[in-house]
Amino acid sequence: MEVPILKQGRFLIATIQAALSDADLLQLRRALIDKVIHFRSNGVIIDVTALDVMDSFATRTLRDITNMIRLRGAGTVIVGIQPEVAFAMVQLGLTMEGVATALDLEEGLEHLQLRATGKI
């Protein structure tokens, strides 16, 4: 299941649409890094609204993506973590420290815009 990545100005928006296997997650990581380099993007949003489980592998991969993109000088925001998914992640001991999160796409874009203009 490939994750579509949309380019919007200097931002990229990846919208996960169904459960992802480990291989799918690694594919997303590769595709996002490639596109950030290719388009010289300065912000990325990963919409995980459709994910009903975020286990240790998914969490680690999303954190790796964020760190890699940060080294390119760009920001990443994870949006749409479902309340019960957040609950399970915390119980499991996964906190996503250092990764920006926002409620939804709109707030995620707002975060990236503030970041791009140096306000945060």
Q: Which positions touch another protein (CB under 8 A)?
A: 19-23, 52-57, 59-60, 82-85, 87-89, 91-94
* Residue spans of beta strands (DSSP E) within 42-99: 43-47, 75-79
Which of residues 73 and 87 has its CB atom nearest to another protein in the complex?
87
For residue 22, the minimal CB distance to another protein (Å) is: 4
Which of residues 45 and 81 has its CB atom nearest to another protein in the complex?
81
For residue 106, which phi and psi values (nearest 5 degrees)? -60, -50
For residue 6, the minimal CB distance to another protein (Å) is: 24
**Are 67 and 36 spatial neighbours (Cβ–Cβ below 8 Å)?**
no
Which of residues 84 and 110 has its CB atom nearest to another protein in the complex?
84
Rounded Cα–Cα distance for residues 97 and 2 (Å): 27
For residue 18, which phi and psi values (nearest 5 degrees)? -160, 175
DSSP class of residue 4 equals P
For residue 114, the minimal CB distance to another protein (Å) is: 31
Which of residues 41 and 61 has its CB atom nearest to another protein in the complex?
61
For residue 81, the minimal CB distance to another protein (Å) is: 11
Best CA proximity match to 44, nearest among 80, 74, 18: 74
